[in-house]
Amino acid sequence: MKTLTLTDRLLGFFLGTMAAVLVGFSASIYAVASADLRRQTDDKLASALDTLAAAAEVKPEGIEWEPHERTVSLGDGPMGGRIAFSVLDDRGRVIDHSTPDPARDGWRTARRWLRAENPAATAVEVNPGEVMYPGIELVAELSPEPVRAALNRLALGLTGLSVLVWLVVLGTGRWICRRALAPLTRVAASAESMGIADPAARLPGTGAGDELDGLVGSFNGLLTRLHESFDRQQRFTGDASHQLRTPLTAILGQIEVALRRPRDADEYRRVLASVQRQSTHLHRIVESLLFLARADADARLPGLERLDLAAWLTTHLEGWNGHPRAADLRNLAASGPMWVSAHPLLLAELLDNLLDNAVKYSDAGTTVALGLDGGEGGATLSVTDLGCGIADGERAHLFEAFYRSPESRRRGIAGVGLGLTIAARLAAAMAARIEVSGRAGGGSRFAVVLRKA
Ligand code: ADP
């Protein structure tokens, strides 16, 4: 089945609405006209009965019908309809009537009784040709034909006019709908011709500030975000490939050199140890990349639990006892409990990343202090070192994947640039944030602000 275009649907809606309006409008006009003619008919019959009543002489002892002494002129009904009358005595006998009409079926009728106050029991002839009745009934009738014909003409006229208007709309509607939808068609055409490679490509706005303009604006906003995300992904892939290539090249080079000629066992052991070092590094990078990919895909928050941060920190630091810098770690947390909402495994991974950096970027023998602070904004777990610190311009980039400060490169400190990216993801998963302070050469402080529980 052929699918309807937007123009077809709009036209259908337009024609349907038009038909409903025309039918409603015509029916209303017809109803008003027909009620008005019925009212005119009733008025005319009432005034015909008044005229007839005026032709009778009403006395206390009886009523005389005197049409010859008083003129009975009933005129015409609405639209020239004929009015007929008859006068009946109290026994239903016709005393007088208008010129008889051949057929009076369906005529509209009005009746009125005239009665004397103290009538004789029966009709009495008072003078020759003059009869006094105890009561008479006046009947006026009006031919409905002219009104019916006028209403039929009106119905026909209204139907014809409505059909004509509807046909004109049908003829011009498609053109009108196409014109109304032209901006939409233009936007669709430019979307179709748009290449994904051009980051500056945007849909043209209508400039009218209408709904379509709003839609184009939102769509362009989405395009901007998509391009930014695409750029980030590309940079990330490029950086990741670069980071993986360096140890891989080293491994391949060493193996190639080792295989050029036979070597003794010590030589092979030395090469294998170097290959193992490089592979471990490679493994760490791959693990970090896998974690970041999983964290992106699984945006759900893990189940957080209520945790005493002070007690947890003391226990966690016991795991650092065997580390070469264990003696430099100072737990400055107050002894009282501090309840937070966190995930113990994620928090452990996050704190270990910060501690790894603190010991990596500070000299052996300098203190690395851990502190807890329960301020208004949440519970803060901080790691402060007295190392190389962070220059002002670098702070904004610390959490970008593969970012490494020039100072850390210059000093030849080993690293990949993924530790803080992972730490930021872990913090976000616990609805926490990481704040950084410190200056070049003056040590640094990384603080995780957790929600209190
Ligand atoms: P990596 O340590 O592997 O380089 P990170 O993501 O952990 O990667 O850190 C990114 C960069 O942030 C580091 O290269 C370093 O320049 C800086 N940085 C992180 N922690 C500290 C710290 N405690 N003191 C000084 N600089 C730091």
pLDDT tens digits, 149-194: 999 999 999 999 999 999 999 999 889 888 888 888 888 888 888 8
Confirm or reject: Cβ of 385 under 6 Å from ligand 1: yes
| Token pair in block for residue 349 | 């991974």
Tokens read off for 71: 């003129």
- What 3-state DSSP class applies to 269? helix
Nearest Cα residue to 83 out of 111, 112, 109: 109
Q: What is the DSSP letter of 201?
A: -
Instruction: Check residue 1 and give its pLDDT.
Output: 60
Atom of ligand 1 at shortest distance to CA of 420? 6
Both tokens assigned to 435: 């704040």
| Angle (CA) 375 380 382, round 5° | 135
Pocket test for ligand 1, best of 420, 435, 436 (most atoms within 8 A of CB): 420
Half-sphere exposure of 95 (CA within 13 A, CB side): 25
Does the pLDDT of residue 299 top 60, yes or no?
no
Q: How many CB atoms lie within 10 A of CB 433?
A: 14
| Exposure string for 281-304, b = 16+ CB within 10 A, e = fewer | bbeebeebbebbeebeeeeeeeeb
Does the beta carbon of 132 lie inside 6 Å of ligand 1? no
Q: Which residues contact 38 (CB under 8 A, 6 or more apart)?
A: 147
Averaged pLDDT for residues 105-116: 91
At residue 369, the pLDDT reads: 96
User: Do 448 and 346 contact (CB within 8 A), yes or no?
Assistant: no
- For residue 443 and ligand 1, the question of a CB distance below 6 A is answered with no
Say how many C-beta atoms besides its own lie within 10 A of residue 162's C-beta: 17
* β-pair partners for 373: 380
> Averaged over 417-437, what is the pLDDT?
91
| Ligand 1 pocket test target in 236, 325, 361 with most atoms within 8 Å of CB | 361
| Mean of pLDDT values over 205-229 | 87
Q: Report how far residue 217's alpha carbon sits from residue 222's, in angstroms, rounded to the nearest whole number.
A: 9
Cα 64 to Cα 209: distance, rounded to the nearest angstrom: 85
Q: What is the pLDDT of residues 6-27, one digit of tens each?
A: 888 888 998 999 999 999 999 9
Cβ atoms of 439 and 433 within 8 Å: the answer is: no
How confident is the model at residue 427, as a pLDDT?
92
Reported confidence tier of residue 259, pLDDT bands at 50, 70, 90: very high
Sort 444 into a burial class: Cβ within 10 Å, 0-12 / 13-18 / 19+. Answer: buried
> 408 in ligand 1 pocket by Cβ < 6 Å?
yes
State phi, psi for 270 to the nearest 5 degrees: -65, -45
Cα 362-322-424 angle, rounded to 5 deg: 55
Expressed in angstroms and rounded, the spacing between residue 355 Cα and the centre of ligand 1 is 11
- Beta carbon of 357 within 6 Å of any ligand 1 atom: yes
Q: What is the structure's pLDDT at 390?
A: 92
Average pLDDT for 400-415 = 87
Looking from the CA of residue 405, the nearest atom of ligand 1 is 16
Nearest CA to ligand 1 atom 3: 415
Does 354 sit in the ligand 1 pocket, CB within 6 Å? no
- The residue that leads in pLDDT, 352 or 128, is 352
Alpha-carbon Rg for the chain, nearest whole angstrom, is 52
Ligand 1 atom closest to 446 (CA): 23
pLDDT number for residue 128: 80
Q: What is the torsional sign of CA 25, 31, 37, 43?
A: negative
Ligand 1 neighbour 403 (Cβ under 6 A): yes
Distance 411 CA to ligand 1 centre (A): 12
Report d(CA 353, CA 343) in Å as an integer: 16
Mean pLDDT to the nearest integer, 20-47: 95
3-state secondary structure of 43: helix
Mean pLDDT of 244-258: 90
Q: How far is the CA of 360 from the centre of ligand 1 (A)?
A: 8
For position 24, what pLDDT does the model report? Answer: 96
Q: Indicate which residue's Cα is closest to atom 8 of ligand 1.
A: 417
Mean pLDDT of the chain: 89
Q: How far is CA 453 from CA 332, 334, 336, 448, in A?
A: 22, 18, 15, 15
The closest residue, in CA terms, to atom 19 on ligand 1 is 357
Measured distance CA(88)–CA(248) in Å, rounded? 126
| DSSP assignment letter at 78 | G
CA of 357 to the centre of ligand 1 (A): 6
* Res. 402: pLDDT tops 80: yes
- Is the distance from the beta carbon of residue 243 to the nearest atom of ligand 1 less than 6 Å? no
Q: Is ligand 1 within 6 A of the CB of residue 416? A: yes
Asked if residues 275 and 255 have their Cβ atoms less than 8 Å apart, the reply is yes
Band (5; pLDDT cuts 50, 70, 90): confident
| Secondary structure (H, E, C), 273-299 | HHHHHHHHHHHHHHHHHHHHHHHHHCC
Q: What is the pLDDT of residue 180?
A: 85
Dist CA 246 CA 251 (whole Å): 9
Q: What pLDDT does residue 31 have?
A: 97
Q: Is the CB of 369 under 6 A from ligand 1?
A: no
Mutation probe of ligand 1 site: the residue of 325, 350, 356, 357 with most atoms within 8 A of C-beta? 357
CB of residue 173 inside a 6 A radius of ligand 1 = no
Q: Measured from the CB, is residue 355 less than 6 Å from ligand 1?
A: no
Distance CA 428, CA 448 (A): 10
